[in-house]
Amino acid sequence: MDLTVLQLALSYVFVLILLVIFKSRGIRREKEILIATTRMTVQLTAMGFILMYVFKNPSWWLTLILVFVMISAAIFNSIKRVKTVMSKQLKLIVGFSLVLGALTSAIFFIVGILGVRPWFNPQYMIPISGMIVGNSMTGISLGANKLCSDMQDKRPIVENSLMLGATPARAVRDIINDAFDSAILPTMSNMLTMGIVSLPGMMTGQILSGVYPITAIKYQIGIMLAILGSTGLCVILFVTLGYKTFFTKDGQLIR
């Protein structure tokens, strides 16, 4: 079923309900809700027209432009979500880890597993890359927040370990492991309830469009495993490279 403009407009009733709740509770979030709703509407509408053009005129360079725009936005938002101050070098590592981890996973899944031909087919490349990049962005944001905050809060413990002769890698081993665990945990928790508590967006969209449920389920399992692998790869790259930015070449903590 195709939604009419009127039917879509009725969906904004949910926003009005949320605004009323916030207003009645005295929580001043009205501006943020309106900005988020407006941005979401404008961005999705613009992307819809862009995708219509790209689908009608498929080319490798148009597909890559859209993918790199998504990755650039993901890098920007990943850095923005980190509450502590990050060095320029650490920000570059966020970008490097996200590009390498997400692109490697997306290309392997699309070309190696799905066998999409041509490889740049926008119908597959853009939405699947978007899901992988989006979830990897969330994971690396959580990992970066945990790593940066723990390096700040547990500085005395790291310094004591260094004084006792531990290498930087050994001194921050537990911090790195905690950051990696914090980043992966939401994806794993989501997988635990998938199919029982919730039907994922990709699977639901395919079923609504008329795809046979078993086919939709196979796609969903595949994409969730790709997301898990991509998030893991992005985060492990970040934490194993990122912790080094907190130390000098001599293995001392930077003041």
Q: 147 with 112: CB under 8 angstroms?
A: no
Task: Taking residues 185-207, report their average pLDDT.
Answer: 81
User: What is the rounded average pLDDT of the residues 73-94?
Assistant: 92
Residue 191 located in a structural domain = yes
Same-domain pairing of 149 and 51 = no
Query: Does residue 198 carry a pLDDT above 80?
Result: no
- The distance of Cα 205 from the centroid of its chain, to the nearest Å, equals 20
Residues 191, 79 share a domain: yes
Q: Are residues 95 and 218 in the same domain?
A: yes
Note the pLDDT of residue 253. 86
Asked if residue 251 is part of any domain, the answer here is no
Provide the pLDDT for residue 132: 93
Please check the confidence at residue 146 and state whether its pLDDT lies above 80. yes
Query: Which has more confidence, 230 or 26?
Result: 230
Q: Is residue 128 a contact partner of residue 70, using CB atoms and an 8 Å limit?
A: no
User: pTM of the full predicted structure?
Assistant: 0.85
Domains: count for the chain: 2
Same domain, 183 and 72: yes
Interval 86-97 mean pLDDT: 94
Q: Is residue 241 part of a domain?
A: yes
Report yes or no on 255 lying in a domain. Answer: no
What is the rounded average pLDDT for all residues in the chain? 90
Cα–Cα distance between 207 and 216 in angstroms, integer? Answer: 7
What is residue 198's three-state secondary structure? strand
pLDDT on residue 203: 78
Last residue of a domain, one of 9, 40, 57: 57
pLDDT at 141 over 90: yes
pLDDT (0 to 100) of residue 17: 93
DSSP assignment letter at 27: -
- Asked if 85 and 156 sit in the same domain, the reply is yes
What is the chain's Cα-based Rg?
A: 21
Which residues is 247 bridged to in the sheet?
A: 253
Residues 196-224 have a mean pLDDT of 82
Predicted confidence at residue 212, as pLDDT, reads 86
Task: At 243, list the tokens.
Answer: 């912790």
Check whether residue 184 and residue 215 sit in a common domain.
Answer: yes
Which residues, at least 6 apart from 56, have a Cβ–Cβ distance to it below 8 Å? none
Instruction: Please answer whether residues 101 and 233 qualify as being in contact, where contact means their C-beta atoms are separated by less than 8 angstroms.
Output: yes
User: Are the CB atoms for 121 and 106 separated by under 8 Å?
Assistant: no
Q: Give the range of the structural domain holding residue 94, as residue numbers without chain letter.
A: 59-246
Q: Are residues 9 and 68 in the same domain?
A: no
Whether residue 84 is contained in a domain is answered as yes
Residues 161, 175: one domain?
A: yes
- Assess if residue 254 is contained within a domain: no
Do 23 and 110 fall into the same domain?
A: no
| Amino acid 99: pLDDT | 94
Question: 252 in a domain, yes or no?
Answer: no
Position 129 scores a pLDDT of: 92
Please state, in angstroms and as integers, the Cα–Cα distance from residue 182 to each residue in 90, 93, 137, 145, 188, following that order.
Answer: 18, 18, 13, 9, 10
Last residue of a domain, one of 21, 38, 57: 57
Residue 80 domain-assigned (yes or no): yes
* Residues in the chain, total: 255
Residues 96 and 214 in one domain: yes
Rounded to whole angstroms, the Cα distance separating 17 from 25 reads 12
Is the same domain home to 50 and 63? no
Same structural domain, 2 and 126: no
Residue 228: predicted pLDDT: 93
Tokens 């000098």 sit at which residue? 248
pLDDT band at 62 (very low <50, low <70, confident <90, very high): very high
